[in-house]
Amino acid sequence: MKTMKTAFAAALAIGGTVALSSAAYAAGADLGNAAKQATNWHAIIMFVIFVGMTLGITYWAAG
């Protein structure tokens, strides 16, 4: 049974490596410098509020 688990883990590792390497191959070449955009502080603040509210609701529901 232990040999079966080891073989499954090895097959899973090889499959993951193949999947990730093929995705990296399909990414394409670097096209050079991209235009730099300004930091969107409104979006960052809204995201932090959303995460805080979600954590608050989770804390309230677990209590």
pLDDT of amino acid 23: 60
Whether the predicted pLDDT of 55 surpasses 80: yes
- In this predicted model, which residue has the larger pLDDT, 48 or 6? 48
Block residue for tokens 């090889």:
14
pTM over 0.75: no
> In which band, very low, low, confident or very high, does the pLDDT at 16 lie, cut at 50, 70 and 90?
confident
What gap in Å lies between CA 26 and CA 24, rounded to an integer?
5
Instruction: Report CA-CA distances (Å) from 61 to 47, 50, 53.
Output: 21, 16, 12
